[in-house]
Amino acid sequence: MIKPRALCADGRLPIAILLTWNADLLFFERMVLPELTAGGAEHILVVGDRGQARAEAASRARAVAGHQLPGLGRRYVFEPAQHDGNFHPKLTMRLGPEGGGVLVGSGNLSFGGWGGNRELGAAWAVGPGEDDDGAWLRSLLEGLETLCDGALARRVLERALALPWLKEAAAPERPPVLWPSGAYTLAGLLAKRWAGRRFETLRVLTGSTDVAGAMLGWAHRTFGVESAEVAVPPERAAFDPAALDRLPLAVKVVPVTGKRGLHAKLLHFSGPEGDAAVMGSANCSARAWLLPPARGGNVELVIPYDHVQPEDMDAIFAEIPWAPLDPAEALRAPVDPGGGGAAPAPALEIRSASWHRHSGVLTLTLAPEPAEGARLRARIGAEILALAWSPEGWRARWPEERLPGRVVVVTAEDLPVETPPRWIDDVVELRNAPFNRRMADALGGLARAGDASTRLLDQLHQLSAEILHDPREHPDPPPRGGGRRAAEPGDAPALDPALLADALVDTPGGGEGSAPVAGLPIAGVLRALFGDPDDPDDDDDDDDDDDDGNGDDDEEERAPRVDPGLPAPERLRKRLAQDLDTFVKRLAEPAFAKECTATQLVQGLSYPVAVVLLGGPRWIDPAQARAIVEGVLQIALDGGLIATVQARMVDRPEVFAEVVGDGTLWTAFRAALAGLDWGGPLGPLRQALATRRLDGASALLASASPGRLRGLVRRLPSGAAHLEAAAQAERAVSALETAVSAVRPALEAALKGRSWHRDGDLVFHDALGFGIVEAEQPAGAALSVLWLTTGRARPVNPVMKGRVFCLNVSLGARAGALERAVVEAVGAQVDGAAGPRETDAGRMGWLRQGP
């Protein structure tokens, strides 16, 4: 029993190409697409019949506008084949760097074709080391290129043709499939393959027929067939009994009824010299077998079985109640053998519609091609846009950040012409969808209580390597035009973070539900944190819960169900910690800053933050989580990573400002700083100083707007609470500075000449700001201080140490009153307490350079 979904979910094969006559995209998105993505498909192309696409244009447009097809044009490409006849092959193809698999059969991409009907199919592996090296796929893919004129579809085909093993495979003398094209007919290809062979009988399974049984007459003339029995649903049989009587062979009809309709296509030739068979997409009709595609014949795909055993065929035919009848008795009502529901070509239609959301450009290709001077309008929702001709197609600039309904209709200003509606492909989403999906699945696994496996960490390791590896895989958007000026060094922030935080906190319902996010699309790592802003009802996470019993039985690789309150296995926690440490070190290497794109920079900085936020204490020790976030901030800001990339992109400042400065990365860092466990007496101060450091990075808010940030915050769990915590941290730093300034002269006078210190003392330096003494040192030794304002450890040498004032608040009565003034002022803001805690008193101090 062939299971099409099993091929879809098999292995990590990034390319998926599906050929079908009728494409039920609602079925595809609900049943097939989840399996494909689970099997690692990243570049997905569905090619269907153009006539069927026309017939379903209106209903498909309604489904897109009603959010019933969220993946169309965003996670996969659907391309109507540009062919005058029926595009009728049925093929599912999965390809990857080392090989792949194919399924050829009779079933369309629909519920009936994938199990509801009686269908036949065959699946096998292709590639190096397999019985079929897959070389025949090259000519098939090249033929598809001539039928697909959409740029997005051709891009998927080009990826497949570029696979090294496919380019190197030798062309087979007897390919495993037959595929008519141009002036070649399916009948001609089979006659050449079986030249000289003779058969006596023919048994046929078919989903429909023509009027005269032309293929049966050809079988007699070519192979000497003397009798034929044709099984067909009576309601799909167009045979004329009188025409069958005139054929030079005896014909019987087997009417097939029942709930499971017969849609299989099989020819079984039998004779004294041996049996042969053909299975695939071709029905018993002249259009399928005798008319070349160049003259409107069908495009079909069949498998010739040069030699078969009769008993194998008998097992297949046994599924059908075999009761042959005379055609006049079996066929009681005439059937129209025409277009099968296909709609006629409209006066003007949209062949492709694509939108590049970064540039805002909408590009349409139309058929027949209007004259360059034609006055055309595109209607999207309630908006009307004037179209201008360009070599790439008819273009307009969409003024908004999102597409209402994602459907377009074109009208002619001076003619009563309106195209059928057409969905709009989102170029950026299609490009980002593979990485988005894999990153969301992997990072989402950290957040799910039941997933704790080496497979999950393998996925994270691979994705983290991809983030840092090749800048070409993370291209920056083109300039939008008319945007804000990019932030330059020394510029004030576009927004005041503290005031913005308070404003968003005061917004009613600030942390509930989701909100639209205008601006650049959220991709990759940040998509896992914020979700899909264009599809707030997206329930993709549920797709992975569908189990058909073909899961991996390896206990090591199966994710054990773990109590959400318990930590993940220690060996996995250690591995994740090591991977994060390696990632952060590579992020700090000069080579990354020298080559990365702005998009890659954002992905790199946000990845460790996302792991910390989503993994939580189940995966990462709180102290390590703090070190990771502070370390990434140090690399980004004080280490100069952001400034280096910004300086390198001086010729494209608006692109840098849009990608890095739209507020998404800033919001993620804010959420991380607010969500970490800042335990210890100095924890809140460290949080406050890190937050202030973040808010001083004007580049992260260069193109942000309050509306976008409000939408981002609302998409985070407890988003408003995060900003409230950040606002409190800002107030805490201000309170501390005020308190220190108030008592500083008296402390200097009281403690002049003292230079000793203790491990953990809080110190202050005029140039370096606040710091924490990292280790107790003997007198005269260098003072090791972790400077909280930069996140970096920097020593104070003995000479400098001898010329500084060092405060430890346990010095005695002279310092007692001053100590209380400092600690009380800070404690009221940082700890929310009425007065100081006793444990804090011995840790408060400052360090300043003397004259």
Digit-coded pLDDT (tens) for 634-644: 999 888 999 99
In 3D space, the residue among 689, 718, 604, 699 whose CA is nearest the CA of residue 643 turns out to be 699
Tell me if residue 643 falls in helix, strand or coil. helix
CA distances from 34 to 85, 206, 545, 546 (A): 32, 31, 10, 9
Which contiguous run of DSSP H or E holds residue 821? helix 813-830
Tell me if residue 47 falls in helix, strand or coil. strand
What residue type is assigned to position 263 of the chain? Answer: H
Whether cis (ω within 30° of 0) applies to the bond prior to 368 is yes
Residue 534: which pLDDT band, with cuts at 50, 70 and 90?
low
DSSP characters for 274-289? -EEEEEES--BSHHHH
CA distances from 603 to 436, 464, 609 (A): 11, 9, 10
Please give the Cα distance from 228 to 529 (Å, whole number): 63
Please give the Cα distance from 804 to 765 (Å, whole number): 9
Lowest mean pLDDT among 17-31, 550-564, 617-631: 550-564
Residue 711 has pLDDT above 90, yes or no: no
Phi-psi region of 756 (alpha: psi -120 to 50; beta: other; left: phi over 0): beta
The first and second tokens of residue 752, run together, are 């002049």
In 3D space, the residue among 274, 268, 662, 737 whose CA is nearest the CA of residue 495 turns out to be 662
Amino acid 583: pLDDT:
95
DSSP characters for 288-353? HHTS-GGGTPPB--EEEEEEE-HHHHHHHHTTS----B-HHHH--S----S-TTPPPPPSSEEEEE
Please give the Cα distance from 664 to 709 (Å, whole number): 7
Amino acid 332: pLDDT:
72
Please give the Cα distance from 432 to 439 (Å, whole number): 11
Residue 20: which pLDDT band, with cuts at 50, 70 and 90?
very high
Which whole number is the average pLDDT over 200-213? 96
Question: What tens digit of pLDDT does each residue of 552-610 get?
Answer: 333 333 333 444 557 888 999 999 999 999 999 999 999 999 999 999 999 999 999 99
Amino acid 847: pLDDT:
40
Place of tokens 């079933």: 107
Amino acid 523: pLDDT:
79
Radius of gyration of the chain (CA): 35
In 3D space, the residue among 423, 425, 410, 397 whose CA is nearest the CA of residue 368 turns out to be 410
Please give the Cα distance from 102 to 93 (Å, whole number): 5
Please give the Cα distance from 36 to 57 (Å, whole number): 25
CA distances from 751 to 747, 809, 847 (A): 6, 10, 11
Torsional sign, CA 304, 305, 306, 310: negative
Residue 811: which pLDDT band, with cuts at 50, 70 and 90?
very low
Residue 536 has pLDDT above 60, yes or no: no
**Residue 561 CB partners (closer than 8 Å, separation 6+):** 449, 450
The first and second tokens of residue 670, run together, are 């804010």
Average pLDDT value over all residues in the chain: 80
Strands 376-380 and 250-255, bridge-based pairing: unpaired
Amino acid 809: pLDDT:
36
**Residue 473 CB partners (closer than 8 Å, separation 6+):** 435, 466
Which contiguous run of DSSP H or E holds residue 465? helix 454-469
Burial class from Cβ neighbours inside 10 Å (0-12, 13-18, 19+) for residue 263 reads buried
Neighbours of 103 (CB within 10 A): 21
Share of residues in the chain with pLDDT > 70 (%)? 73
Q: 3-class secondary structure for 572-631?
A: HHHHHHHHHHHHHHHHCCHHHHHHCCHHHHHHHHHHHHHHHHHHHHHHCCHHHHHHHHHH
- Axis crossing angle, helix 454-469 with helix 570-587, rounded to the nearest 10: 0
CB 179 within 8 A of CB 146: no
Please give the Cα distance from 804 to 807 (Å, whole number): 10
Residue 836: which pLDDT band, with cuts at 50, 70 and 90?
very low
In 3D space, the residue among 376, 423, 379 whose CA is nearest the CA of residue 150 turns out to be 423
Tell me if residue 512 falls in helix, strand or coil. coil
Please give the Cα distance from 114 to 107 (Å, whole number): 6
CB 699 within 8 A of CB 655: no
Which whole number is the average pLDDT over 210-219? 97
What residue type is assigned to position 718 of the chain? Answer: S
Q: How many residues in the chain?
A: 851
DSSP 266: E
Q: What angle do CA 725, 511, 405 make, to 5 degrees?
A: 140
How far the first Cα of the chain sits from its last, in Å, is 88
Question: What tens digit of pLDDT does each residue of 263-274 get?
Answer: 999 999 999 999
Residue 738: which pLDDT band, with cuts at 50, 70 and 90?
low
Q: 3-class secondary structure for 641-684?
A: HHHHHHHHCCCCHHHHHHHHCCCHHHHHHHHHHHHCCCCCCCHH
Residue 681 has pLDDT above 70, yes or no: no
CB 818 within 8 A of CB 743: yes
Q: What angle do CA 159, 160, 165 make, to 5 degrees?
A: 115
Residue 230 has pLDDT above 80, yes or no: yes
In 3D space, the residue among 425, 358, 433, 347 whose CA is nearest the CA of residue 393 turns out to be 425
Lowest mean pLDDT among 59-73, 452-466, 500-514: 500-514
Which whole number is the average pLDDT over 797-801? 49
Place of tokens 């291209």: 475
The widest CA-to-CA distance across the chain, in whole angstroms, is 122
Amino acid 810: pLDDT:
35
